[in-house]
């Protein structure tokens, strides 16, 4: 006579226990809801990447595959009840390479990026993402540029190649100049990579601001409920005269981003309309219009 239940009985009991615990944790524990939502978010992206890989593999490694990934990811905002409002997307330069720079808060930046991503535009990502299973392979097929941040020499070499690719293949590049995620609603000091890339390739910089997610998402608090300037003409070469514009440009972004990042209404994406003579003039937020002193190479 068996005193212990069989394996199938144990599995059935565990399944029923989970059916009882999951709804209880969902409604009673904000932290549990946060982990469930983030687990589904990451798992769903990995699953979609599995579906995208065979389609993207037909072309091989090609920036046009980014369109496929974008179409497959656009619906995620609806699953989480997030409304993304894009303002000024028509101000992107229509027919020339450029460097897009944006603040980086969390993996949810992907939702905003896919909403506003221009044609033939690929992000620059840390090399660790290449080993993120199906997502890494899908990104590689879509032409995402991977950089090893620990090996400065390799990163510089890759950026030099990217500068040539921008011009020869009519590609746009999306860069997070802070270099890492920042969850506290402010901005970190910029790395010079995006600025030097634009200078080397002689292409405009198009900054985009993603507003703070603090209203509905906070990693520190384990909270996830429902609920981002003008192109600058770079100088002719990477030199001391050219680099001295980096600090004013960075300061201008900080000043203009602060007013938006501190806004209580998240889920805004603001590409700044292009002009030849101004870095931040023309970006309108709720508080006031942001302007900056012009500079020319």
pLDDT, position 34: 87
* Residue given tokens 């990502």 in the structure block: 125
95 part of a folded domain: yes
167 part of a folded domain: yes
248 part of a folded domain: yes
CA dihedral for 112, 114, 120, 124, sign (positive or negative): positive
15 part of a folded domain: no
User: Which range, 13-17, 68-72, 103-107, 248-252, is most confident?
Assistant: 68-72
Q: What is the dihedral of CA 76, 146, 139, 143, to 10 degrees?
A: 120
Domain with 204 in it: 29-290
User: Which range, 56-70, 90-104, 108-122, 265-279, is most confident?
Assistant: 56-70
**Alpha helical stretches, state H, 58-189:** 65-73, 76-79, 109-116, 133-141, 152-168
Lowest mean pLDDT among 52-56, 81-85, 112-116, 210-214: 210-214
Structural domains in the chain (count): 1
What is the arithmetic mean of pLDDT over 222-229?
A: 65
Distance CA 171, CA 97 (A): 5
20 part of a folded domain: no
Q: How confident is the model at residue 64 (pLDDT cuts 50, 70, 90)?
A: very high
* Residue given tokens 């939702």 in the structure block: 111
206 part of a folded domain: yes
Q: How confident is the model at residue 294 (pLDDT cuts 50, 70, 90)?
A: very low
Q: How confident is the model at residue 254 (pLDDT cuts 50, 70, 90)?
A: low
* Residue given tokens 């080993």 in the structure block: 131
181 part of a folded domain: yes
272 part of a folded domain: yes
């Amino acid at each position: 006579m068996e005193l212990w239940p069989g394996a199938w009985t144990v599995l059935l009991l565990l399944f029923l226990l989970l059916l009882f615990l999951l709804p209880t944790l969902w409604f009673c524990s904000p932290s549990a809801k946060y982990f469930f939502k983030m687990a589904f978010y990451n798992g769903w992206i990995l699953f979609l990447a599995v579906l995208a890989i065979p389609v993207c593999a037909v072309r091989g490694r090609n920036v046009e595959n980014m369109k496929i990934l974008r179409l497959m990811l656009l619906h995620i905002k609806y699953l989480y009840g997030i409304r993304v409002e894009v303002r000024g997307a028509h101000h992107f330069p229509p027919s020339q390479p450029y460097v897009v720079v944006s603040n980086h808060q969390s993996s949810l930046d992907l939702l905003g990026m896919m909403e506003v991503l221009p044609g033939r535009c690929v992000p620059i990502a840390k090399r660790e993402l290449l080993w993120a299973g199906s997502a890494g392979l899908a990104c590689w097929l879509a032409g995402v540029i991977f950089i090893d941040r620990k090996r400065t020499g390799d990163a510089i070499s890759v950026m030099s190649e990217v500068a040539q690719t921008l011009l020869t293949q009519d590609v746009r590049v999306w860069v997070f100049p802070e270099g890492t995620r920042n969850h506290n609603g402010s901005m970190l000091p910029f790395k010079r990579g995006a600025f030097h890339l634009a200078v080397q390739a002689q292409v405009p910089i198009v900054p985009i601001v993603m507003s703070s997610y603090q209203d509905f998402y906070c990693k520190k608090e384990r909270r996830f409920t429902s609920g981002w300037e003008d192109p600058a003409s770079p100088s002719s070469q990477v030199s001391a005269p050219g680099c001295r514009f980096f600090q004013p440009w960075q300061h201008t972004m900080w000043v203009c981003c602060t007013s938006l990042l501190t806004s209580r209404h998240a889920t805004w994406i603001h590409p700044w309309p292009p002009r030849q003579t101004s870095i931040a003039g023309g970006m309108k937020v709720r508080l006031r219009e942001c302007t900056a002193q012009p500079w020319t190479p």
